[in-house]
Chains A and B, each alone.
Chain A
């Protein structure tokens, strides 16, 4: 009889989940697109040619610009391909920042308890009382516009949720026998947290991080749409929507539709995969 490890187990369950596999496929496709953007994109994403502005794409026999051009005559397909770089990196980096901040706060709060817990969790509660996009806008207003600042802002807004999840898990783990044991043989608090607690609270974080990446991309697009994220001429999906939405009433539907579809597909990918991951990582949900 073969002995399956937890990882094998997870992968086996994941493979069975068609939704999760579709999600993974979408994510991998977009990641590849982002990495190889300069090789795939037929044109430069920022080179404009006003003479060719708002040209329809392949459906109107325009083989040069498959998805048409935007209001500055830039190739829409190339912009979407390059936009994947921005959107994905924003998603990953923002969630990483959130995990770093929220994770640290959560594990400290859970592990030490008492006053420290009280203080950290009340701060978290205050942050929860603000809608996340509003909080992000406030932070961007303080830090200034720009993609880097948008990533930090989104990261900060994700921190409270992560802190709460990790704290709850830490509370459970810290009372287990192996943690008690580690303490008994004189392991320092930091060592106990990093070596014994952290690995055992990872699985809910991984699920949450995957799901959050999708919403972080969406938030970055929202900030871009409001003009607070990526600045022109950077090809960012949200900013693409914002700069072209005047054109939609004029009948130029493609400038709006394709970046929208790109956002939707990426977010869908992360959500499907995240859901699948949760199902397979949580033994309680397995039958």
Chain B
């Protein structure tokens, strides 16, 4: 009797053990990436990389960039054709796509996504600022549905970089059903067509996305994608070394040597399409305006007072090159003939004296609270600049706010000087010289031009350049803009940084984009699925 019981028990154990083996499904693959927190998750209503890099995975546009480049290829539109005058663009849409909430993707969704930004009478228009629309899409007169799967976009003026801009996050197509349901709160409930669906956003802690099982294209290789908010680069690196996260952005340059020597980690780097700069507020109508900065001699003095080379060598630790132009040298149109203001405190003091400030003056210097691809530790750079300015008698107080507030306040022009930077959204100087330095972008409240630099000649050249289709001629025009910017010094251009991401060694498939976008659909762990 006892023996039988033993047999039965053993039998049961064996069955259970094997049953376990048979039914055990492949564990879910979770990928955790450490970065700063997003500001909003409405693709049309953000300007910051931290939000964009999350949304790259949730949403898609009509066209997209080839992985790792700025070349445009079909995405939600299978093909497109411009009219002969370049004013009417017809897009033919994919027919097999649905949004994450089940809404079918069609011309109505495209028209909704575009018109809500353009048309002030659109019922959704009131829920956003739509900064980018004004910066990059002002030439769009209207977007119309031709039939269910054909959309026609009409432009006011020919716009040379138009098709490149169509790959930007601003014109990602959003689900009209879900947007209308949430209204002003939609930016916390994003619904797109992308390879990942949105699960939750715990502000300041994490954003979770899940693989979209019904994705029309090649499905994501990881099941769950978590963006963990770790603001501090050292803390990120610790989490990565311990294996708590599998990837991170913008390591501290001090740590690069250690990362290289760690076999568990790999570095991905690529020259970025970016610029980090110090903007000096020239806008008399802004709350932060100081009359000193209205004088070009003061601005030139500041350009002479800052020792950029030392900042690059000892703070960027060689992960950047000194910037003399607002556009990076990797971009066409770069004016290499420009001679940068050399580091010369003596000359700076002379210029200040000439301008009537022999003893300098008091001012403020704003520094971003987060590391950005173009500036890994803004406070440190601000401190270095502060000391350089102190040498010529300028007493600058460092001011900082949390990231969202910082952007709002600098858009309002509440600063005298502020550090900021820019990563190009498409490979065209227009994206830098128009968005960041054109009078059109210097509207108080939604400024991309936070120097509030308003040179009508810059505007004329910019306009001529976007309505010209001859590349050689455009190059010439943009070179002239750079000459003007160099003479007027609305910015002290600081650095063009290299984009650096660090991953665990077993992470494969991730590709860096010059635009700083993160697409995780092709990412996988070596040795797993």
A to B contact number (C-beta, < 8 Å): 65
Q: Which residues of A contact B238 (CB under 8 A)?
A: 249
The reply to whether B380 and A243 form a contact with Cβ atoms under 8 Å apart is yes
A256 to chain B, nearest CB (A): 11
Alpha-carbon separation in the docked complex, A232 to B400 (Å): 11
Nearest residue, chain B, Cβ from A250 = B254
Residue in B252, B379, B384 whose beta carbon sits within 8 Å of that of A250 in the complex: B252
B106 to chain A, nearest CB (A): 49
A226 to chain B, nearest CB (A): 11
The reply to whether A71 and B380 form a contact with Cβ atoms under 8 Å apart is yes
List A residues 204-238 near B (Cβ within 8 Å). 227, 231-233
Q: Which residues of B contact A246 (CB under 8 A)?
A: 232-234, 252, 254-255, 377
A78 to chain B, nearest CB (A): 14
Q: Mark A46-65, 1 if CB is under 8 A from B, else 0.
A: 11101101100000000000
Q: Which residues of B contact A19 (CB under 8 A)?
A: none
Q: With A50-B313, A72-B384, A250-B252 as given contacts, are A232 and B398 in contact (CB-CB < 8 Å)?
A: yes
Q: Which residues of A contact B234 (CB under 8 A)?
A: 245-246, 248-249
Q: Which residues of A contact B390 (CB under 8 A)?
A: 46, 233
A56 to chain B, nearest CB (A): 14
List B residues 295-329 near A (Cβ within 8 Å). 307, 310-311, 313-315
Q: With A249-B252, A250-B252 as given contacts, are A232 and B379 in contact (CB-CB < 8 Å)?
A: yes
A82 at the binding interface (Cβ < 8 Å): no
B237 at the binding interface (Cβ < 8 Å): yes
The reply to whether B383 and A232 form a contact with Cβ atoms under 8 Å apart is yes
The reply to whether A72 and B387 form a contact with Cβ atoms under 8 Å apart is yes
Alpha-carbon separation in the docked complex, A263 to B103 (Å): 61
B255 to chain A, nearest CB (A): 5
B257 at the binding interface (Cβ < 8 Å): yes
A252 at the binding interface (Cβ < 8 Å): yes
B363 to chain A, nearest CB (A): 14
Nearest residue, chain A, Cβ from B371 = A246
B16 to chain A, nearest CB (A): 47
A251 at the binding interface (Cβ < 8 Å): yes
Alpha-carbon separation in the docked complex, A71 to B254 (Å): 10
Alpha-carbon separation in the docked complex, A249 to B248 (Å): 16
Q: With A72-B383, A233-B386, A248-B234 as given contacts, are A50 and B315 in contact (CB-CB < 8 Å)?
A: yes
The reply to whether A249 and B387 form a contact with Cβ atoms under 8 Å apart is no
The reply to whether B384 and A247 form a contact with Cβ atoms under 8 Å apart is no
Q: Mark A26-52, 1 if CB is under 8 A from B, else 0.
A: 000000000000000000001110110
List B residues 190-241 near A (Cβ within 8 Å). 232-234, 237-238
B397 at the binding interface (Cβ < 8 Å): yes
B238 to chain A, nearest CB (A): 7
Residue in A50, A233, A251 whose beta carbon sits within 8 Å of that of B258 in the complex: A251
The reply to whether A51 and B397 form a contact with Cβ atoms under 8 Å apart is no
Alpha-carbon separation in the docked complex, A267 to B243 (Å): 37
Nearest residue, chain B, Cβ from A54 = B254
Q: Which residues of A contact B314 (CB under 8 A)?
A: 50-51, 53, 73
Alpha-carbon separation in the docked complex, A53 to B387 (Å): 14
Q: Which residues of A contact B310 (CB under 8 A)?
A: 50-51
Alpha-carbon separation in the docked complex, A51 to B309 (Å): 10
Alpha-carbon separation in the docked complex, A187 to B30 (Å): 78
Alpha-carbon separation in the docked complex, A233 to B315 (Å): 16
Alpha-carbon separation in the docked complex, A243 to B311 (Å): 16
B231 to chain A, nearest CB (A): 12
B365 to chain A, nearest CB (A): 10
The reply to whether B383 and A243 form a contact with Cβ atoms under 8 Å apart is yes
A55 to chain B, nearest CB (A): 11
Q: Using C-beta atoms within 8 Å of the partner chain, give the interface range for chain B.
A: 20 to 34
Q: A47, A245, A246, A247 — which one has the most chain B CB atoms within 10 A of its CB?
A: A246
Q: Which residues of A contact B377 (CB under 8 A)?
A: 246
B335 to chain A, nearest CB (A): 28
The reply to whether B384 and A48 form a contact with Cβ atoms under 8 Å apart is yes
Alpha-carbon separation in the docked complex, A71 to B315 (Å): 8
The reply to whether A48 and B387 form a contact with Cβ atoms under 8 Å apart is yes
Residue in B233, B257, B311, B383 whose beta carbon sits within 8 Å of that of A233 in the complex: B383
Q: A50, A54, A233, A243 — which one has the most chain B CB atoms within 10 A of its CB?
A: A50
B257 to chain A, nearest CB (A): 7
Q: With A51-B314, A73-B314, A249-B252 as given contacts, are A231 and B257 in contact (CB-CB < 8 Å)?
A: no
The reply to whether A231 and B380 form a contact with Cβ atoms under 8 Å apart is no
Alpha-carbon separation in the docked complex, A231 to B400 (Å): 11
Alpha-carbon separation in the docked complex, A251 to B397 (Å): 30
Q: Which residues of B contact A248 (CB under 8 A)?
A: 234
Q: Which residues of A contact B397 (CB under 8 A)?
A: 231
List B residues 242-260 near A (Cβ within 8 Å). 252, 254-255, 257-258
Q: Which residues of A contact B398 (CB under 8 A)?
A: 231-232
Q: Mark B371-414, 1 if CB is under 8 A from A, else 0.
A: 00000010110111011001000000110100000000000000
Q: Which residues of B contact A233 (CB under 8 A)?
A: 383, 386-387, 390
A246 to chain B, nearest CB (A): 5
Alpha-carbon separation in the docked complex, A47 to B388 (Å): 9
Residue in A46, A50, A54, A243 whose beta carbon sits within 8 Å of that of B307 in the complex: A50
Q: With A50-B310, A243-B379 as given contacts, are A252 and B254 in contact (CB-CB < 8 Å)?
A: yes
The reply to whether B254 and A47 form a contact with Cβ atoms under 8 Å apart is no
A20 to chain B, nearest CB (A): 39
A37 to chain B, nearest CB (A): 19
Alpha-carbon separation in the docked complex, A51 to B382 (Å): 17
Q: Which residues of A contact B313 (CB under 8 A)?
A: 50
Alpha-carbon separation in the docked complex, A71 to B314 (Å): 8
Nearest residue, chain B, Cβ from A227 = B400
Alpha-carbon separation in the docked complex, A245 to B232 (Å): 10
Q: Which residues of A contact B252 (CB under 8 A)?
A: 246, 249-250
A73 to chain B, nearest CB (A): 7
Alpha-carbon separation in the docked complex, A249 to B242 (Å): 13
Q: B314, B377, B386, B398 — which one has the most chain A CB atoms within 10 A of its CB?
A: B314
List B residues 415-447 near A (Cβ within 8 Å). none
B186 to chain A, nearest CB (A): 30
Alpha-carbon separation in the docked complex, A59 to B518 (Å): 45
Alpha-carbon separation in the docked complex, A244 to B88 (Å): 56
Q: Mark B347-389, 1 if CB is under 8 A from A, else 0.
A: 0000000000000000000000000000001011011101100
Alpha-carbon separation in the docked complex, A246 to B232 (Å): 8
A95 to chain B, nearest CB (A): 27
Alpha-carbon separation in the docked complex, A76 to B142 (Å): 62
Residue in B232, B237, B384, B386 whose beta carbon sits within 8 Å of that of A50 in the complex: B384
Task: A50-B314, A243-B380 given; name 7 further pairs at CB < 8 Å.
Answer: A71-B315, A232-B379, A232-B382, A249-B255, A249-B258, A250-B255, A250-B257
The contact sample of 16 A-B pairs, CB cut-off 8 A, is A46-B387, A47-B387, A50-B315, A51-B314, A71-B380, A72-B383, A72-B387, A227-B379, A231-B398, A232-B383, A232-B386, A233-B390, A246-B252, A247-B254, A250-B258, A251-B258
Enumerate the 3 nearest inter-chain pairs by beta-carbon distance, A residue then B residue, closest first.
A250-B254, A50-B310, A50-B314
Query: A-side interface residues toward B, CB under 8 Å?
Result: 46-48, 50-51, 53-54, 71-73, 227, 231-233, 243, 245-252
Query: B-side interface residues toward A, CB under 8 Å?
Result: 232-234, 237-238, 252, 254-255, 257-258, 307, 310-311, 313-315, 377, 379-380, 382-384, 386-387, 390, 397-398, 400
